[in-house]
Amino acid sequence: MAQPAQPVARDLTPAFGAEITGFEPRKPLDAETCNVLRDVFDRRGLLLFRGLDIDHAYQVYLATMLIRKAHLADTATIADTFYISNERPNSAAPFGRLQFHSDTMWSDNPFEVLSLYAVNVDEPVVPTTYVSATYAWATLPDDLRARVDGHEALHTAGEVRRGDLTDVDLTTVERPPSTTMPIGRRHPRTGDTILYICEQMTKEVVGMAPDDSERLLGKLFAHLYDRSKQWSHHWCNGDLIIWDNAAVQHARPNVRNDGPARTLRKVAFPIPQLSRDQLPAYESAE
Ligand SMILES: [Fe+2]
């Protein structure tokens, strides 16, 4: 029997990301296809597929396969209840602008993989914007690298307020979880070093005076979020993006409650175990 054709990857930017074409959503995928996709995922940090018709279980399968943990993904524990939507009741981040972040950066075991699938978007809708923290570390100027060497940063949920907060979707958390990690963090799967800070959740450089900490973080953010290094995706129905949540950060411009429908199904893995008072509540910055 003829072997199925292998998918083809095309770089989205010089720094990160790849669009995959020629992909057939079978289950299980053959070993060669898995290897091709995993290799591109590890090297590029983000995969874009267009025009897919997939259910929640398949989204879980593909996302966890890419981090070599499909055997741990029980769809019963990753319920089909997680949507980013301005129209669907009880969705996350229903409105507002989101500053750059890695989801659950405040956790000791943050999401390793994150994905969004466009279920219902009334095109055109607000895009999602990405940057590569791996590329940011690789291109970090020597003087900045020397200043962060050996330092850790404190990350917390729902407490950090910095920069322009216009339209920002502020979250509040009753008992915010937090963690410290090296600023030059070794990626647990790829071994790459990543610039592991984000404007939304990084509170301070541990052990540094507040002014010095904020000044240093400001320089690191300017490098990490350089506009020329950003890539934005304008969603169409059937688009699927799967990204490495540590290596790649995401953000979005303002989404309005009364704007065009924008419903994205979210799958993340692994899920941190949190009590109700550690979960975010959404409020407007206005
Ligand atoms: Fe997010």
Residue ranges with strand state E in the chain: 8-11, 18-21, 46-49, 83-85, 96-101, 113-121, 128-132, 152-156, 169-172, 178-182, 184-186, 193-195, 202-205, 231-233, 240-244, 248-255, 262-269, 281-284
For residues 173-193, give the mean pLDDT: 94
Distance separating alpha carbons of residues 218 and 97, to the nearest angstrom: 20
Sheet holding 202-205, edge to edge: 178-182, 152-156, 202-205
What counts of helices (H) and strands (E) characterise the chain?
A: 5, 18
- Cα(2) to ligand 1 centroid in Å equals 41
Mean pLDDT throughout 205-232?
98
Q: Among 112, 113, 168, which residue's Cα sits nearest to residue 282?
A: 168
If you measure from the C-alpha of residue 25 to the centroid of ligand 1, how many angstroms do you get, rounded to a whole number?
A: 25
pLDDT confidence bin for 119, thresholds 50/70/90? very high
Cα 263 to ligand 1 centroid, rounded to whole Å: 14
Q: How far is the CA of 102 from the centre of ligand 1 (A)?
A: 6
**Given 3-state DSSP classes, what are the helix, strand and coil percentages for the chain, each rounded to the nearest 5?**
20, 30, 45
CA of 26 to the centre of ligand 1 (A): 28
Q: Which residue has the tokens 């083809």?
A: 8
Cα–chain center distance at 171: 17
Q: Provide the whole-model pTM.
A: 0.94
The CA angle 284-173-101, to the nearest 5 degrees, is 70
The Cα 217–Cα 202 span in angstroms is 9
Residues in the 5 Å CB sphere of ion ligand 1: 103
Which tens digit of pLDDT belongs to each residue from 225-262? 999 999 999 999 999 999 999 999 999 999 999 999 99
> DSSP label at 230?
-
CA of 265 to the centre of ligand 1 (A): 12
Q: What is the pLDDT of residues 83-114, one digit of tens each?
A: 999 999 989 889 999 999 999 999 999 999 99
